[in-house]
Chain A
Amino acid sequence: MMNFSYARAESVGEAIAAVSGDPHARYIAGGTNLVDLMKYDVERPGRLVDITRLPLREIAATAGGGIRIGALVPNSDLAYDARVERDYPLLASAILAGASAQLRNAATTGGNLLQRTRCYYFYDVGAPCNKRAPGSGCGAIGGVNRIHAILGASESCIATHPSDMCVALAALEAVVHVAGPGGERTIAFEDFHRLPGDRPEADNTLRHGELITAVELPAPRFGPHHTYLKLRDRLSYAFALVSVAAGLELEGDTIRDARVALGGVAHKPWRVPEAETLLRGQKPSREAFGAAAERLLQGARGQGDNDFKIELARRAVVRALEQAAAATPQRQSDKSIN
């Protein structure tokens, strides 16, 4: 690990001033990804600004019937919050599908959004990687790419976003609250993460010095009709090969609206509004779900080792929508998929 200087911020304003004034400074909170990457010399900040003592740990009700989650709420506290368990079980389930109990205790809400890809070439400082070292090339294209993207990839990068929580936040249409040197702003979740294009070093649309202060959820919509289905190489404590967050608004046996987001397949949680529109007014059926899955995966392209993901994702979408329609969400401790 490279040496770095350290300071503890006592206020949001102080933290923003410290990071925005220094291009080599970074915020640190849970540290579960940043410290790991610093040990590999993938991340080499000159300064760390510790934000863990800032007052961003509350989960508060909003006027619109939703909740506002402070950026420093640990993943475990969020998943086990009584209101989240009751009103946003899709979010609770996705969080519990990820990492381990130890990591969830340390990792924060804001930090979860900012975790970086687990692409092997990104982590290996001896390998080319346009995300880590822009212009150095991509080792994964034509290399070992079982875990890589099938959607939205570019010629410079085929990395995937690793988060489970973010897949649920995409389906729940969260809003990210940000404070920075230029003041405060909000970012719709779909605009927060970006596709790699020719600038894969930028995972998201935050500017240097901007700090996530909260993640807001609109009022709950899906009742019991949701699921988070995660498929991976081992049954726990592994990143998704493919995951699906699904929520359905049912009126009798008719789908009034739907939200579906995929994880493990792209540089960001993957949503296609047209696929959701296809489901509107339909009765839940394998055919209707299959059509939505086809639309979600339109343009999917394998890289060799990950070709299997296209069919896996198609089937996972259908299964997840069946689970959501039947109000039988996947339980994360139950390793059989029904």
Chain B
Amino acid sequence: MVYVSGAPGAVTVSLTVNGKPQTLSVAPSTTVLDLLRERLHLTGTKKGCDQGQCGACTVLIDGRRVNSCLQLAVMNDGREITTIEGLGAPGGLHPMQEAFVAHDAFQCGYCTPGQICSAVALLKEGRARTRAEIRELMSGNLCRCGAYTNIVDAVEAVMGAGASQEAAE
């Protein structure tokens, strides 16, 4: 087993970010959040508390939602990361992004990328059926503006659309 030193650039990591392979030299202490924002300039992912308490930095790693501020980049070597930029873009928004717009599910927008990544994972997990369950399973994403009611509306709308699509198929 080989130790790499703590110096900047001491270790090379290869990741797939939004479908694109990336190889970068980082320090062992570099978080996935800082790698995304500072090295790849994917600033859609937000730094809120940087302590795993607010959810603004939520991304999908191998399809699972996690707080990117608590993930060391070096430990995620070989993994696939999806950020808000990878979900959709103007002209081709993800249904969850469209629902957030339609339901006015934000005010300042700072928590929104994390909320949307989290909500996309929530639907994939399939554990929420009711508004109470959506609220409980979205509680890792704080919204200081208090847009929670509309956030739940947006998530519920996409969930309902998915359910009726399944029923039709």
Contacts and interface: CB of A to CB of B under 8 A. Distances in A.
B87 interface: no
Contacts of B6: 3-6
Contacts of A38: 29
Given A18-B1, A333-B135, A103 B125 contact: no
Contacts of A7: 1-4
B74 A36 contact: no
Contact of A10 (B1, B55, B75, B141): B1
Interface string B38-68: 0000000000001110010010000011110
Contacts of B72: 6, 28, 31, 35, 48
A194 B130 CA distance: 40
Given A6-B3, A6-B28, A50 B75 contact: yes
A102 B135 contact: no
B50 A8 contact: no
A121 to B, nearest CB: 17
A52 interface: yes
Interface in A91-124: 99-103, 105-106
A332 B52 contact: no
Interface centre among A7, A99, A101 (most CB of B within 10 A): A101
A3 B27 contact: yes
A212 B71 CA distance: 21
Nearest to B74: A6
Interface in A324-338: 332-335
A1 interface: yes
Q: Point out which of B50, B67, B127 has the most chain A C-beta atoms below 10 A from its C-beta.
A: B67
Interface residues of A, number: 39
B3 A102 contact: no
A204 to B, nearest CB: 22
B35 to A, nearest CB: 14
A14 interface: yes
A301 B71 CA distance: 39
Contacts of A236: 135-136, 139
Given A5-B6, A10-B1, A333-B132, A102 B27 contact: no
A334 B121 contact: no
Contacts of A1: 29
B15 to A, nearest CB: 15
A31 B70 contact: yes
Given A4-B28, A5-B5, 17 more contacts: A3-B6, A3-B7, A3-B29, A6-B3, A6-B4, A7-B3, A32-B70, A35-B31, A52-B75, A101-B65, A101-B118, A101-B122, A101-B125, A101-B139, A102-B52, A102-B66, A236-B135
- 5 interchain residue pairs of minimum CB distance: A100-B140, A3-B6, A236-B139, A6-B28, A333-B136
Interface of B: 1-7, 11, 27-29, 31, 50-52, 55, 58, 64-67, 70-72, 74-75, 118, 121-122, 125, 127, 130, 132-133, 135-141
